[in-house]
């Protein structure tokens, strides 16, 4: 089976999963107590007014009609209207998406940049100070809750030292890049970096620690294998033995973990976003849940679910590309 | 009578290419110090095949790894010399490290780590027991052979510079090679040479097979490819560690023939590590029999096979079925190889506890004695016949020594070496 065919099949499977997410998210509204009308209608609304609101929101229809309506709408990227602001839910959800993706990717970049070299240093200097330092760091990193880390970074680095802003997002990545061509200035990117650094570190620390440990143990495992000895026996420079041979095989399983984690970061940044008032999907979902704004909740959850599926499909393709032993079945 | 304190000397010959003297490799494990190679001496002549035979756990593989300086922590070469004849190398080191040079011979163990590493490939090379694990599963076979070609090409381009051979290729070079194809370690030319090498070892359609991954090869084909990889550097000494053990019998014969042919063609010397006496008889000119980290008997193939002196050698030969006399019972050697942990080893002939001819004299460590010509053995029987009146009582060693302890713990030098590389 070719890679293309494999990807097509994985994509179809992915669509099926997304449909499952949509259905589950839709059902959620019917199993939670309280009608959305309670939150939309004024407290003293007459039964007639409530009925009219329900009809307007389509809530008077049988459940399967509402379901089919919702599915049909989704196919046209219509997620309904926010109960609170009456704006299209899809627009609000997608407006938040870039911030979330930026943060997830930045956290992943932080993780990759720090964890893989740390893991390699640790493995190649086993039982030496550098190894103890790296394993110590990863133990601390894995055990630190990120709400605490975020607050501490804000207190120490932002408030005391004043190096970075305490929160919010002043500019998006894409507008910042556009500034480079249009105005020829790097100022936009600098501002973007200043705002995203602390949230990315906060979100990426656990991830960094995890990948450091995986890289270390994977690398130790690979370095003990016979092919490493054979590579040394033929006189290959140690750099190539370590990075071209051992690290390559170490990274194969790590890429899977990276993909899974990137997927969870898209939905799992809620706490970090809250600490830094980062305008991503996480804060949107929290606000929407607090106000029972169902179209927003549903839309966000579907986008998060779809993001997870898409990232994992891409990672599976990448994995098959990197690892020649994978048979696309 | 040979004084035990005098280190065994190797009969030197003009043709010697490699002289190993009193090589000691130890593993420092949690169970204690393991003397995997304990004062091994032998000489390898030019374009000769030297066989090292012994049971599993006798230290033969560690000897092989020591020759290439591939022993890994917690193992370490703790003593001895590996004199390697190479006039250019001797010239290069005569000024800087005179103590490491003796005539045209250079003591490899006295060179720096980088200098020793530079000898791998062009001077020493190795083939392994299991080709499937000796190839990186995620790189093509052609790429891995081309790497070996490239190592050799760089060595030739800068014969005097150790740095350019090894340290010159750092992380920066590797990373830029990932982005820029022309900076890659392996270039087109070496890939073409890799294909030629594959053809030379008898792999059909070498150009296509070069782009395949090890998992797409059969065991025998991969063994051939590994030989091609080891030969890429045109080594002076090829160390072959159980090269045919993992293969079925018909393929074994093909691989042995291939090695023989290639040796005739390239004039290299081969150090062949095996437990298979048939392979030794077929391939080797000279043989060393290893037991418990020592070479207990060595000489020409005829010396050792036709006229064995050491009871262990006799035992090994006696445990091979003789097709001319079917129905004869085999005579296995009783007991097990000792575990080689220093504290378990008494100061005596290590084979005495399994030896049918053990005498009181065997309780002193026997030095190596010349039998005649190149033939030497570490056994008191060289000095005189077995004397029954001096025989040790049955069960003399029971409960006290290495052999039984080893059997129960199942830990041997090879096992220790393996643990050493895979723990954590």
Per-domain residue ranges of chain A: 3-75, 97-322
SS3 B182: helix
Chain B: closest CA distance from residue A240 (Å) = 7
Rounded CA-CA distance A114/A221 in Å is 20
Q: Which of B240, B245, B147, B160 shows the shortest CA–CA distance to B197?
A: B147
Rounded CA-CA distance A308/A314 in Å is 10
Could you tell me if B243 and B271 are in contact, meaning their C-beta atoms sit under 8 angstroms apart? no
pLDDT score, position B152:
80
Residue B239 has pLDDT above 90, yes or no: yes
Could you tell me if A142 and A150 are in contact, meaning their C-beta atoms sit under 8 angstroms apart? no
User: Is the Cβ pair A248, B126 closer than 8 Å?
Assistant: no
Residue B148 has pLDDT above 80, yes or no: yes
Q: Which CATH class is domain B46-67+236-424?
A: alpha beta
Q: Which of A209, A207, A170 shows the shortest CA–CA distance to A192?
A: A170
SS3 B95: coil
pTM assigned to the model? 0.76
SS3 B214: helix
Partner residue opposite A234 with nearest CB, options B166, B185, B232:
B232
Residue B282 has pLDDT above 80, yes or no: yes
User: Is the Cβ pair B121, A126 closer than 8 Å?
Assistant: no
pLDDT score, position B12:
52
Q: Measured in whole angstroms, how far is the alpha carbon of residue B311 from the centre of its chain?
A: 23
Nearest CA in chain A to B68: A233
A230 touches chain B (CB under 8 A): yes
Pick the more confident residue, A48 or B387: A48
Partner residue opposite B120 with nearest CB, options A232, A245, A252:
A232
Pick the more confident residue, B362 or B157: B362
Summarize pLDDT for B176-185 with one digit per residue, the tens: 777 666 667 7
pLDDT score, position B98:
82
User: Is the Cβ pair B126, A233 closer than 8 Å?
Assistant: yes
Q: Which CATH class is domain A97-322?
A: mainly alpha
Residue B50 has pLDDT above 90, yes or no: yes
A125 touches chain B (CB under 8 A): no
SS (H, E, C) chain A: CCHHHHHHHHHHHHHHHHHHHHHHHHHHHHHCCCCHHHHHCCCCCCHHHHHHHHHHCCCCCCHHHHHHHHHHHHHCCCCCECCCCCCEHHHHHHHHHHHHHHHHHHHHHHHHHHHHHHHHHHHHCCCCHHHHHHHHHHHHHHHCCHHHHHHHHHHHHHHHCCCCCCCCCCCCHHHHHHHHHHHCCCHHHHHHHHHHHHHHHHHHHHHHHHHHHHHHHHHHHHHCCHHHHHHHHCCCCHHHHHHHHHHHHHHHHHHHHHHHHHHHHHHHCHHHHHHCCCCCHHHHHHHHHHCCCHHHHHHHHHHHHHHHHHHHHHHHHHHHHHCCCCCCC
pLDDT score, position B14:
58
pLDDT score, position B400:
52
Rounded CA-CA distance B70/A233 in Å is 7
Q: What is the mean pLDDT of chain B?
A: 80
Residue A143 burial (C-beta neighbours within 10 Å; 0-12, 13-18, 19+): exposed
User: Of A313-327, B6-20, B61-75, B378-392, where does the model show the most confidence?
Assistant: B61-75
Residue A310 has pLDDT above 80, yes or no: yes
Instruction: Using a pLDDT cut of 70, give the percent of chain B over it.
Output: 85
pLDDT score, position A144:
85
Mean pLDDT to the nearest integer, B164-172: 59
For chain B, the structural domain boundaries read 46-67+236-424, 137-234
User: Of A267-276, B2-11, B158-167, where does the model show the most confidence?
Assistant: A267-276
Identify all chain B residues contacting A253, using CB atoms and an 8 Å cutoff. Answer: none
Rounded CA-CA distance B145/B142 in Å is 5
Give me the half-sphere count of Cα atoms (radius 13 Å) on the Cβ side of residue A103: 35
SS3 B287: strand
B120 touches chain A (CB under 8 A): yes
Residues, chain A: 329
- Chains A and B: how many Cβ contacts under 8 Å? 115
Instruction: Using a pLDDT cut of 70, give the percent of chain A over it.
Output: 97
Helices A173-183 and A89-124: angle between axes, nearest 10 degrees: 90
Summarize pLDDT for A140-176 with one digit per residue, the tens: 888 888 888 888 888 888 788 878 887 777 777 777 7
Rounded CA-CA distance A236/B103 in Å is 29
Summarize pLDDT for B323-353 with one digit per residue, the tens: 677 777 777 777 777 777 877 777 888 888 8
Residue B416 has pLDDT above 50, yes or no: no
User: Is the Cβ pair B148, A234 closer than 8 Å?
Assistant: yes
Mean pLDDT to the nearest integer, B201-212: 89
pLDDT score, position B47:
86
Partner residue opposite A234 with nearest CB, options B165, B230, B424:
B230
Residue B166 has pLDDT above 60, yes or no: no
Rounded CA-CA distance B393/A53 in Å is 106
Partner residue opposite B147 with nearest CB, options A226, A234, A323:
A234
User: Of A289-298, B7-16, B388-397, where does the model show the most confidence?
Assistant: A289-298
User: Is the Cβ pair B133, A225 closer than 8 Å?
Assistant: yes
pLDDT score, position B135:
92
pLDDT score, position B318:
80
pLDDT score, position B240:
92
Residue B163 has pLDDT above 70, yes or no: no
Which of A31-35, B63-67, B112-116, B156-160 has the weakest average pLDDT? B156-160
Is the complex ipTM more than 0.85? no
pLDDT score, position B13:
54
pLDDT score, position B409:
42
Contacts of A133 (CB under 8 A, 6+ apart): none
Phi and psi at residue A315, to the nearest 5°: -65, -40
User: Is the Cβ pair A230, B118 closer than 8 Å?
Assistant: no
pLDDT score, position B49:
92
Which of A82-86, B129-133, B159-163, B369-373 has the weakest average pLDDT? B159-163
Instruction: Using a pLDDT cut of 90, give the percent of chain A over it.
Output: 6
Could you tell me if A29 and A294 are in contact, meaning their C-beta atoms sit under 8 angstroms apart? yes
Pairing type for strands B105-107 and B101-102 reads antiparallel
Could you tell me if B251 and B178 are in contact, meaning their C-beta atoms sit under 8 angstroms apart? no
User: Is the Cβ pair B169, A245 closer than 8 Å?
Assistant: no
Residue A322 has pLDDT above 60, yes or no: yes
Partner residue opposite B151 with nearest CB, options A226, A235, A323:
A235
Nearest CA in chain A to B116: A235
Could you tell me if B403 and B416 are in contact, meaning their C-beta atoms sit under 8 angstroms apart? no
pLDDT score, position B187:
79
Residue A213 has pLDDT above 70, yes or no: yes
Identify all chain A residues contacting B173, using CB atoms and an 8 Å cutoff. Answer: 239
Mean pLDDT to the nearest integer, B214-236: 88
Residues, chain B: 424
Mean pLDDT to the nearest integer, B147-162: 72
Rounded CA-CA distance B170/A240 in Å is 8
Identify all chain B residues contacting A325, using CB atoms and an 8 Å cutoff. Answer: 137-138, 213, 215
B185 touches chain A (CB under 8 A): yes
Partner residue opposite A227 with nearest CB, options B65, B135, B424:
B135
């Amino acid at each position: 089976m070719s890679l293309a065919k494999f990807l097509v099949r994985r994509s179809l499977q992915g669509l099926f999963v997304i449909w499952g997410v949509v259905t589950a998210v839709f059902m959620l509204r019917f199993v939670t107590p309280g009608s959305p009308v309670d939150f939309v209608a004024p407290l003293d609304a007459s039964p007639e007014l409530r009925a009219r609101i329900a009809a307007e929101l389509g809530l008077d229809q049988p459940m399967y009609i509402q379901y089919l309506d919702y599915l049909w709408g989704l196919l046209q990227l219509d997620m309904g209207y926010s109960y609170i602001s009456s704006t299209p839910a899809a627009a609000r959800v997608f407006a938040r998406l870039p911030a979330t993706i930026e943060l997830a990717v930045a956290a992943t970049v932080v993780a990759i940049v720090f964890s893989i070299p740390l893991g390699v240093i640790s493995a190649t200097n086993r039982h030496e100070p550098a190894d103890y330092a790296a394993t110590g760091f990863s133990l601390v990193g894995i055990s630190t809750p990120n709400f605490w880390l975020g607050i501490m970074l804000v207190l120490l680095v932002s408030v005391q030292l004043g190096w970075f802003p305490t929160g919010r997002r002043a500019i998006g990545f894409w507008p910042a890049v556009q500034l480079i061509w249009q105005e020829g200035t790097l100022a936009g990117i600098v501002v973007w970096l200043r705002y995203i650094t602390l949230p990315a570190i906060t979100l990426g620390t656990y991830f960094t620690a995890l990948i450091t440990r995986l890289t270390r143990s994977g690398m130790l495992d690979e370095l003990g294998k016979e092919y490493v000895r054979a590579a040394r026996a033929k006189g290959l420079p140690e750099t190539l033995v370590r990075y071209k041979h051992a690290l390559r095989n170490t990274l194969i399983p790590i890429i899977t973990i990276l993909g899974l984690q990137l997927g969870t970061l898209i939905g799992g940044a809620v706490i970090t976003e809250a600490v830094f008032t980062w305008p991503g999907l996480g804060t949107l979902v929290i606000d929407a849940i607090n106000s029972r704004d169902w179209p927003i909740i549903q839309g966000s959850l579907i986008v998060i679910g779809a993001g997870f599926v898409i990232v994992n499909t891409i990672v599976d393709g990448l994995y098959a590309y990197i690892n020649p032993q994978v048979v696309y079945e | 009578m040979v004084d035990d304190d005098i280190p065994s000397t190797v009969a030197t010959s003009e043709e010697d290419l490699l002289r190993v003297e009193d090589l000691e490799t130890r593993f420092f494990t949690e169970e204690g110090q393991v003397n995997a190679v304990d004062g091994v001496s032998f000489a390898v002549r030019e374009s000769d095949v030297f066989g090292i035979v012994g049971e599993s756990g006798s230290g033969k593989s560690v000897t092989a790894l020591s020759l290439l300086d591939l022993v890994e922590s917690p193992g370490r070469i703790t003593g001895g010399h590996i004199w390697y004849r190479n006039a250019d190398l001797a010239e290069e080191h005569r000024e800087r490290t005179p103590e490491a040079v003796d005539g045209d011979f250079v003591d490899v163990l006295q060179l720096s780590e980088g200098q020793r590493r530079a000898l791998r490939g062009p001077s020493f090379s190795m083939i392994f027991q299991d080709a499937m694990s000796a190839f990186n599963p995620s790189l093509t076979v052609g790429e891995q052979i081309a790497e070996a070609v490239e190592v050799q090409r760089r060595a030739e381009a800068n014969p005097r510079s150790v740095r350019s051979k090894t340290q010159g290729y750092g992380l920066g070079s590797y990373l830029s090679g990932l982005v820029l194809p022309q900076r890659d370690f392996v270039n087109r030319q070496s890939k073409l040479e890799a294909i030629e090498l594959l053809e030379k070892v008898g792999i059909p359609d070498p150009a296509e097979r070069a782009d395949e991954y090890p998992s797409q090869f059969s065991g025998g084909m991969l063994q051939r490819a590994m030989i091609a990889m080891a030969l890429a550097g045109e080594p002076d000494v090829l160390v072959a560690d159980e090269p045919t053990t993992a293969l079925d019998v018909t393929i074994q014969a093909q691989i042995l023939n291939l090695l023989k042919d290639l040796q005739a063609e390239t004039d290299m010397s081969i150090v062949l590590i095996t437990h298979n006496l048939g392979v030794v008889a077929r391939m080797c000119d000279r043989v060393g029999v290893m037991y418990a980290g020592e070479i207990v008997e060595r000489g020409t193939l005829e010396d050792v096979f036709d006229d064995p002196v050491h009871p262990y050698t006799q035992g090994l030969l006696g445990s091979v079925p003789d097709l001319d006399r079917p129905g004869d019972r085999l005579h296995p050697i009783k007991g097990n190889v000792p575990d080689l942990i220093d504290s378990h080893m008494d100061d005596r002939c290590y084979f005495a506890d399994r030896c049918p001819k053990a005498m009181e004299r065997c309780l002193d460590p026997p030095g190596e004695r010349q039998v005649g010509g190149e033939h030497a053995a570490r056994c008191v029987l060289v000095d005189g016949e077995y004397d029954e009146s001096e025989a040790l009582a049955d069960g003399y060693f029971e409960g006290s020594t290495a052999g039984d302890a080893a059997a129960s713990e199942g830990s041997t030098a090879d096992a220790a070496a393996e643990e050493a590389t895979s723990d954590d």
